[in-house]
């Protein structure tokens, strides 16, 4: 029975130690990212106040994001071409000269073809994901609240940092 208790304590210590190890790794990565090319940590009185994992970015999340952005961009272009087509149609309705009528009809036909082509366009920026599992983790989101002293005034900031799955690289940050 004693051996079982010792085993449980050992497992608990190892599992808790692993969590602290990853947080320590996150702290180092975020600190290195923030202080790159600036004064030392001590000169800025930099310290991490709070650090929490917020979630992951998976292959499926990335595909969804890229597809949504593609659709938004595509719709913006369709709207612009449609507006130009509408303007050409209005000018066509007002003109009397046959040469202008022919020009506007040709322009409208080109714009109709572009609109149809755009509507059928599919994203081509997803090629890197074909062989990936949708559940593969691409990034870990870590919320970090830190304080830094600039010009003698302490300031606290909170950002979500996007780190590599192993926590060793920072891809970027986003203010919250």
Region label for 152, one of left (φ > 0), alpha (ψ between -120 and 50) or beta (otherwise): left
Neighbouring C-alpha atoms within 13 Å toward the C-beta of 114: 17
| Cα 110 from Cα 105, distance rounded (Å) | 9
In angstroms, what CA-CA distances link 140 with 34, 42, 53, 102, 129? 17, 27, 7, 58, 18
- Per-residue pLDDT in tens (0 to 9) along the chain, 176 residues: 333 333 333 333 333 444 566 778 899 999 888 888 665 665 678 889 999 999 999 999 999 999 999 999 999 999 999 999 999 999 999 999 999 999 999 999 999 999 999 999 988 888 888 889 999 999 999 999 999 887 778 889 999 999 999 999 999 999 98
Comparing CA positions, the residue from 166, 154, 159 lying closest to residue 29 is 166
Cβ atoms of residues 139 and 57 within 8 Å: yes
Comparing CA positions, the residue from 19, 43, 41 lying closest to residue 30 is 41
pTM of the full predicted structure?
Answer: 0.67
């Amino acid at each position: 029975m004693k051996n079982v208790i010792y085993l449980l304590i050992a497992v608990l210590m190892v599992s808790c130690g692993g969590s602290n190890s990853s947080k320590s790794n996150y702290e180092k990565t975020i600190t290195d990212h923030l202080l790159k090319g600036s004064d030392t940590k001590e000169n800025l009185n930099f310290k991490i106040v709070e650090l929490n994992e917020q979630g992951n970015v998976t292959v499926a999340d990335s595909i969804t994001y890229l597809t949504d952005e593609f659709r938004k961009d595509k719709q913006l272009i369709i709207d612009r071409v449609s507006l130009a087509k509408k303007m050409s149609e209005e000018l066509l309705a007002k003109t009397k000269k046959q040469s202008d009528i022919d020009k506007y009809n040709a322009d409208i036909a080109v714009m109709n073809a572009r609109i149809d082509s755009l509507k059928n366009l599919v994203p081509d920026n997803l090629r890197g994901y074909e062989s990936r599992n949708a559940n593969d983790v691409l990034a870990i989101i870590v919320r970090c609240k830190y304080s830094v002293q600039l010009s003698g005034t302490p300031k606290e900031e909170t950002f979500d940092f996007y780190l590599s799955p192993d926590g060793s690289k920072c891809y970027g940050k986003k203010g919250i």
